[in-house]
Amino acid sequence: MLRSQACPDALAMFFFPSLQKKYKETPGIMTLFINNKPVTIFAGATLEMVVLRYSRRSHSLLKSGYLGLYDRFGNPTEPDGPVSEGQHFFLKVIARQG
């Protein structure tokens, strides 16, 4: 199976609307947004897995405590929390006290 058939890129779905329709009907796959960038991942994933899919560097900065994860309302969220289709999250630098 080609990568585009299993999990199409957002760019491919933008240029080929027929992929978008087919993709939406695929059970077990959902799209979330990290910093307004669509991230495609399997259903049942945790927020940490979504950040890892978004960016390895952001994932390591999140784990080190340099970045914080916030929902669309600005509330801090835990990386081990569940996610659902269409949610929006934002990565922000955490202010250090010292």
pLDDT confidence of residue 44: 87
The tens digit of pLDDT for each residue in 79-92 reads 999 999 999 999 99
37-49 pLDDT per residue, tens: 999 998 889 999 9
The DSSP result for the chain, as a single string, is: --HHHHS--HHHHHH-HHHHHHHHT-TTEEEEEETTEEEEEETT-BHHHHHHHH-HHHHHHHHHTSEEEEETTS-B--TTSB--TT-EEEEEEPPPP-
Q: What percent of the chain has pLDDT over 70?
A: 71
Domains of the chain with CATH codes? 29-93 (3.10.20.90)
5: its two tokens: 């058939």
Span 3-26, mean pLDDT? 53
pTM for the structure as a whole: 0.70
